[in-house]
């Protein structure tokens, strides 16, 4: 793939979305958006973008080949995912302009742009409900798991009556008692019980 300039790395969710839509349209693809109720930092509308393009002379109608490419599940990390999508679209546009588009294998590509538009817009990993979508996976037939490690850490993390010294001392005591791995798993593993806590799963 040809090396691209920094124009694929956008400074805001809105700039990334506009760049995405522009490229889809230049490729003759279709675009639709699914709005979400949350607003961006500028109180602007947010949405999940879906761009579809067909490669080759007939695309999906004859081949049945479909590629799905998703970005932005983890919110702020969507800047990198969006850049990857824009660079792929730029490469396809170059091939189209060079007359090579119809020579590509017949398939349809569906790009889902910024699944967690709220998180990308606000520079957060979670969505507006404090849910980390990257950790929101429950196997069929399984109930919501509990995290004993997080339950033990929650009181330390969220108690706003502590001074900084008290907070650090309590955290240090837990680290010495339970160990680094236990505390890190409690912090990063996700949880279902506390809506005001870290990495809520729903």
DSSP string, the chain: -----GGGS-SSHHHHHHHHHHHHHHTT-EEEEEEEEEE-TTS-EEEEEEEEEEETTTTHHHH--EEEEE--TTGGGHHHHHHHHHHHHHHHHHHHHTT-GGGSPSEEEEEEE-TTHHHHHHT-SS-TTSB-GGG----TT------HHHHHHHHHHH-TTS-HHHHHHHHHHHHHHH-HHHHHHHHHS-BSS-TTSSSB--
61 lies in a domain? yes
pLDDT at 101: 73
- Tell me how far apart the alpha carbons of residues 131 and 147 are, in angstroms, rounded to a whole number: 16
pLDDT at 202: 45
99 lies in a domain? yes
**Residues 191, 93 share a domain:** no
Candidate from 67-76, 157-166, 167-176 with smallest mean pLDDT: 157-166
Instruction: Tell me what percent of the residues of the chain surpass a pLDDT of 70.
Output: 89
Contact 22/100 with Cβ under 8 angstroms?
Answer: no
pTM of the model: 0.73
- Categorize the per-residue pLDDT at 62 as very low, low, confident or very high, splitting at 50, 70 and 90: low
- Tell me how far apart the alpha carbons of residues 40 and 118 are, in angstroms, rounded to a whole number: 7
**pLDDT(190) > 60:** yes
* Distance between first and last Cα of the chain: 39
**Residues 24, 80 share a domain:** yes
**pLDDT(112) > 60:** yes
48 lies in a domain? yes
pLDDT at 16: 97
Domain with 48 in it: 6-128
**Residues 104, 68 share a domain:** yes
User: Structural domain tally of the chain?
Assistant: 2
- Domain final residue, candidates 83, 108, 128: 128
Candidate from 39-43, 118-122, 149-153 with smallest mean pLDDT: 149-153
- The domain spanning residue 13 has which CATH number? 3.40.630.10
**Residues 25, 104 share a domain:** yes
pLDDT at 2: 45
**Residues 179, 101 share a domain:** no
Candidate from 9-18, 68-77, 171-180, 183-192 with smallest mean pLDDT: 183-192
**Residue 52: beta bridge partners?**
30, 110
1 lies in a domain? no
pLDDT at 58: 55
- Domain final residue, candidates 109, 128, 147: 128
In terms of Cβ atoms closer than 10 Å to its own Cβ (0-12, 13-18, 19+), residue 116 is buried
Mean per-residue pLDDT for 29-38?
A: 95
**Residues 80, 36 share a domain:** yes
């Amino acid at each position: 793939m040809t090396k691209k300039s920094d124009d694929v790395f956008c400074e805001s969710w809105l700039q990334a979305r506009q760049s995405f839509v522009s490229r889809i349209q230049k490729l003759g693809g279709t675009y639709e958006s699914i709005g979400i109720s949350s607003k961006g930092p500028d109180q602007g509308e947010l949405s999940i973008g879906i761009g579809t393009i067909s490669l080759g002379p007939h695309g999906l109608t004859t081949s049945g080949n479909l590629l799905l490419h998703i970005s932005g599940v983890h919110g702020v990390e969507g800047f990198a995912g969006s850049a990857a999508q824009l660079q792929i679209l730029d490469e396809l546009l170059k091939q189209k302009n060079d007359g090579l588009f119809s020579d590509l294998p017949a398939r349809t590509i569906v790009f889902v742009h910024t699944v967690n538009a709220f998180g990308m817009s606000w520079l957060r990993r979670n969505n507006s409900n404090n849910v980390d979508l990257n950790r929101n996976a429950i196997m069929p037939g399984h109930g919501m798991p509990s995290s004993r490690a997080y339950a033990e850490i929650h009181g330390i993390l969220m108690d706003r009556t502590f001074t900084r010294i008290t907070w650090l001392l309590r955290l240090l005591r837990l680290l010495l008692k339970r160990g680094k791995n236990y505390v890190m798993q409690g912090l990063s593993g996700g949880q279902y019980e506390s809506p005001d806590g870290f990495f809520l799963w729903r």
